[in-house]
Amino acid sequence: MSYNIQFSDTSLAQLETIGKSSTKIFRQVMMKAFGLRRSPKPQDCKKLENFSYQEMDGYRVDQGEYRIIYAVNEKEKRVYIALVRHTSEVYKTLS
């Protein structure tokens, strides 16, 4: 069973910015995000401590130099993409 993906407004804006600078990186990040539909907690994901999104535990996956920060709602079978940021910026945002 696949999960539904829901992007936050912030993550969509960030993806737009990535898309304007590099279609190759945009495609790679989107493929990783859409891969969460079949496997919301892939082997390379990390659970985030001291971070939640809409009262759900936060996770992250890496795609190249970008991190996708997301949460999973098991009851609704939904993945919420909260942030997509360059690795040098992501933790400044979460602080």
For tokens 């993945």, the residue is 79
3-class DSSP assignment, residue 77:
coil
> pLDDT tens string for the chain (95 positions)?
799 999 999 999 999 999 999 999 999 999 999 999 999 999 999 999 887 777 888 999 999 999 999 999 989 999 999 999 998 886 665 54
Considering only CA atoms, which of 48, 55, 56, 53 is closest in space to residue 91?
Answer: 48
Residue 87 phi/psi, 5° resolution?
-60, -30
Q: What was the pLDDT predicted at 91?
A: 60
pTM: 0.87
Which amino acid is located at 53 in the chain?
Y
Residues facing residue 61 across a β-bridge: 68
- Domains parsed from the chain with CATH numbers: 4-94 (3.30.2310.20)
pLDDT at position 57: 86
